[in-house]
Amino acid sequence: MSYGMGAALQAAVYQRLRGDAQVAGLVGEAVFDAVPPGPVAGTYVSLGPEDVRDASDVSGSGAEHDFTVSVITDAAGFQAAKAVAAAVSDALVGAALTLTRGRVVGIWFLRARARRVDTGALRRIDLVFRARLEG
């Protein structure tokens, strides 16, 4: 097992979300690998934490990456955030991502958590996906 494919997966997920017409129609260019400093107004998507475990077998090395994509908005209610979360999920589940190292066997949705943050001023949905990589 190696963590060597982690950066390649992150770059591919970022490019997929930035290039998806449905996501772009909802958040424009507000898809961040690193959120800019200071407050960000409106609705945006941010790549987040990742947990990785070995998934090697007799056919070769591999890893399962559980990664989080967050949708954050200052819009009232959860409707806007849920629309973006659905677009993110549609863009990633089953996507045929091309990596600079290794290959994606599959991407699946695992879970989501929606909540108010920042004393209720913001809505946040954390979507967790699993990617099975070989390489």
Domains of the chain: 6-134 (3.30.2000.30)
pTM of the model: 0.94
% of residues, the chain, pLDDT over 70: 99
Q: Give the amino acid at 12.
A: A
Report pLDDT for 17: 98
Report yes or no: 133 and 63 within 8 Å, Cβ to Cβ: yes
Q: Are strands 62-73 and 43-54 parallel, antiparallel or unpaired?
A: antiparallel
pLDDT-derived band at 1 (thresholds 50, 70, 90) equals low
**Tens digits of per-residue pLDDT, 72-115?**
999 999 999 999 999 999 999 999 999 999 999 999 999 999 99
